């Protein structure tokens, strides 16, 4: 399988609008982070998307994605679902609804905020999706792949991470309970969110993400959902353990 990082930034993205800091004015392309999302090209040829944020359209065009078979939503914060209207392009070329997977909390928010996607409609041109509610206890099949949902907390909001074979993708967590950590045993490639060095009330900071990596012991780990407060890419990545990589937009990983 191949994992492509489409966006690796926190909700505001980097550069932040009107921010005078050196990260937001860096000329290193690795210091530019669109909102967090990643594309998994599975061995069966299927394309599985993790989250569909406000930069979805730009990300699909940049990577020349011609088909999309399933979307695994971690939670319904806008930086993870605001691209939903643009599934229309795939509805048209694929002549079918998009398959959308998320937990009950995200389902409720998406069906409220994007009610027109799910309501019967008489006019063509609206986005169309099949909603699959994932409770988080049982593995499920998406795009022909077995997916193990991993329940995590994002302050008070239950969210889902996803494991597909040797890959686990978790973002916006700030707590993973021990029984859910067990589901990460044997993961070779772990993607985990790390907002910045300083502690934060609803996202893992750098040291907390490194603690999760220490507990899981993957072969390689990739940090995502970074804020400009992480510092310059070159400086921040220089102090990481050798098996931990600060992800950046466009980074491609063989799993």
Residue ranges in contact with Zn ion by CB under 5 A: 16, 19, 21, 24, 77, 79, 172, 228
Q: C-beta of 24: minimal distance to Zn ion in Å?
A: 3
Q: C-beta of 26: minimal distance to Zn ion in Å?
A: 9
DSSP per residue over 13-74, as a string?
-BSPTT--STTTT---GGG-BPBSEEEEE-TTS-EEEE---TTHHHHHHHTT-----EEE-S
* Cβ nearer to Zn ion, comparing 8 with 91: 8
Secondary structure class of 253 (helix, strand, coil): strand
* Cβ nearer to Zn ion, comparing 79 with 208: 79
* Cβ nearer to Zn ion, comparing 69 with 180: 180
Secondary structure class of 244 (helix, strand, coil): strand
Say if CB 7 and CB 51 are below 8 A apart. no
* Cβ nearer to Zn ion, comparing 24 with 251: 24
Look up residue 23 and give its two tokens.
Answer: 């990260």
Q: Give the separation between CA 41 and CA 29, rounded to whole angstroms.
A: 24
Q: C-beta of 154: minimal distance to Zn ion in Å?
A: 5
Three-state secondary structure readout of 120-165: CCCCCCCCCEEEEECCCCCCEEECCEEEEEEEEEECCEEEEEEEEC
* Cβ nearer to Zn ion, comparing 16 with 153: 16
Q: C-beta of 104: minimal distance to Zn ion in Å?
A: 16
Q: C-beta of 129: minimal distance to Zn ion in Å?
A: 20
């Amino acid at each position: 399988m191949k994992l492509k990082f489409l966006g690796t930034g926190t909700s505001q993205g980097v550069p932040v609008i009107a921010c005078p800091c050196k990260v937001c004015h860096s000329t290193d392309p690795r210091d530019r982070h669109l909102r967090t999302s990643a594309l998994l090209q599975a061995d069966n040829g299927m394309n599985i998307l993790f989250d569909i944020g406000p930069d979805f359209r730009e990300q699909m065009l940049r990577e020349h994605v011609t088909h999309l078979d399933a979307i695994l939503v971690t939670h319904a914060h806008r930086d993870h679902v605001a691209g939903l209207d643009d599934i229309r392009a795939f509805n048209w070329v694929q002549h079918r609804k998009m398959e959308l997977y998320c937990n009950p909390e995200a389902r409720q928010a998406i069906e409220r905020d994007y009610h027109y996607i799910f309501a019967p409609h008489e006019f063509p041109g609206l986005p169309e999706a099949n909603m699959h509610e994932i409770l988080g206890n049982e593995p499920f099949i998406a795009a022909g792949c077995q997916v193990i949902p991993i329940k995590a907390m994002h302050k008070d909001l239950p969210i889902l991470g996803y494991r597909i074979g040797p890959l686990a993708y978790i973002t916006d967590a700030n707590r993973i309970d021990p029984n859910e950590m067990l589901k990460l045993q044997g993961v070779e490639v772990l993607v985990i969110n790390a907002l910045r060095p300083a502690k934060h009330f609803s996202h893992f900071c750098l040291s907390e993400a490194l603690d999760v990596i220490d507990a899981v012991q993957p072969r390689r780990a990739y940090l995502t959902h970074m804020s400009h407060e992480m510092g310059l890419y070159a400086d921040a990545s220089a102090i990481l353990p050798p098996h931990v990589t600060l992800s950046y937009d466009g980074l491609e990983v063989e799993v």
